[in-house]
Amino acid sequence: MTGTTEIKVETSRTGALSGIRVLDFGQMVSAPYCAKLFADYGADVIKVEPSAGDVARTVGPFPLDAAHCERSGLYFVNNTNKRGVTCNVALDAGRALFRRLLEWADVLVENNLPSQMKSWQLDYATIQAVNPRLVMISITPFGQSGPYSAWNGYDLNAYHLTGAGSRYCGRPGEMPLEHGTFSADYFGAISAATWGMAAVYGRDLVGGGQQVDVSCAEAIAAAFIGGQNIGGYAQDGRFDKRTGVGMPQGAPATILPCKDGHVWMLALEPGQWNGLRQVMGNPDWADLDMFQNMKTRAENADVIYSFIVEWTMQHTKMEIQEKCQAAGCPVTAVYTVAEAAEQPHLKARGYFVDMEHPELGRIRNLGAPFKLPASPGGPVRGAPLLGQHNGEVYGGMLGLAETELQALRAAGAI
């Protein structure tokens, strides 16, 4: 939906991070989403973009697939609740202006190559001299040190560097598959926000700010590969690999088709298996000896799945989910994105928020990912237009006169 609509902003709410001042100097996903988490919980976040804007503005989805720098869904969802300015730090005048913002800030979030930050004279050693209490959160695919730190890389480079591609997504003996879009960037962003916030509240303990070095690859290694695989390999050279659909150690544990889509079924323990049997009407085949424990069920998975599918194809995913959950068997409908957007459980938790935007009109967005009842978070203002708050920030907050702003515009600094 497009068109201009008066934007009503909630101003009475006090967020958990109210009073913290953040600069978002990032592109695409990892740094913007990290800064969004600060913004959605009350921090004052200023997004600093180059004159052409965050690259995410060129990435869809776009309404009706018509590209427009102010209508990118990716940009919108990662930049709510922020003020937005433009600043060309490649110019001396732009760098001087950016340093003024650094003096104001508690936190700088960025995801540029270390060499790029150094060429702009914005590396941590230089920034620390400008604001010793500043926490600089640097999120990159491979981190600030090590032989790959200077490499160009994206989300999938970070993901597959960790061995996660060998562990997940694909059939045994066949090539690995790509993982879902931006998982490494989002995991890196959440890790960065968590420990960046810890660094802010720990400034008095360490005597000032510090640089939080976040490698998206290492965030994926910790979350996806984890101690079981890394520790197992270190101990005896063994580790898990991708298994295709389902689990080789037990059954039923897989995605199965049903009347209107698919369900994820997990019924390994005796209580779970007996609950599933009850829901299916205690069929005679389920009494066979080969189906009495999860290991022998796994050894005969092709047989048991063919029997179960005969039953699932007679029922809808919601029927299966509700009946199995009531019987103590953890089965979940596999929702499409459209179905998830209308999911009553997520609606009841307030996870969807309808927002207004001058270019997108009324749009549905995701709400707060973490619940803080005493100081609820989540988006209340849409993502800023390109340079929308230049006058407010540079003129009102930093005190630059209109003639100075005009000179900066003429020089290409903003």
- Three-class secondary structure of residue 256 per DSSP: strand
How far apart, in Å, do the first and last CA atoms of the chain sit? Answer: 30
pLDDT surpassing 80 at residue 3: no
Give me the domains of the chain, ranges plus CATH numbers. Answer: 21-224+347-411 (3.40.50.10540), 253-336 (3.30.1540.10)
The angle subtended at Cα 15 by Cα 13 and Cα 19, nearest 5°, is 115
Give the E-state strand segments of 141-226 in sequence order: 211-215
Cα torsion at 262, 268, 272, 273 (round to 10°)?
90
Could you check whether the bond before residue 252 is cis, i.e. omega within 30 degrees of 0? yes
Residue in 254, 255, 260 with CA at minimum distance from that of residue 313: 260
341 against 74, higher pLDDT? 74
Average of per-residue pLDDT across 117-126 = 97
Cα gap 257→320, rounded to integer Å: 11
pLDDT: which is higher, 265 or 163: 265
pTM above 0.85, yes or no: yes
pLDDT at position 1: 33
Lowest mean pLDDT among 24-33, 145-154, 174-183, 341-350: 174-183
Instruction: Find out whether 285 and 307 touch, Cβ atoms under 8 Å.
Output: yes
* Cβ neighbours of 65 (radius 10 Å): 7
Q: Which tens digit of pLDDT belongs to each residue from 296-307?
A: 888 888 899 999
Q: Are 102 and 134 in contact (CB under 8 A)?
A: yes
pLDDT > 90: percent of the chain: 69
pLDDT at 227: 67
Q: How far is CA 177 from the centre of its chain?
A: 20
Q: Using the predicted structure, report yes or no on whether residue 370 has a pLDDT greater than 60.
A: yes
pLDDT per residue over 323-358, tens digit each?
999 999 999 999 998 999 888 998 898 889 999 999
* pLDDT, the chain, mean: 91
pLDDT > 70: percent of the chain: 96
pLDDT of residue 5: 31
Q: What is the pLDDT of residue 12?
A: 44
**Number of alpha carbons in the 13 Å side-chain half-sphere of residue 310:** 9
Report the candidate in 34, 23, 57 with the shortest Cα–Cα distance to residue 216. 34
d(CA 80, CA 29): 13
The span from the CA of 15 to the CA of 38, in Å, is 10
Q: Which residues, 6+ apart, have CB-to-CB distance to 228 below 8 Å?
A: 240
Say if residues 77 and 40 touch (Cβ distance below 8 Å). Answer: no
Distance CA 320, CA 266 (A): 12
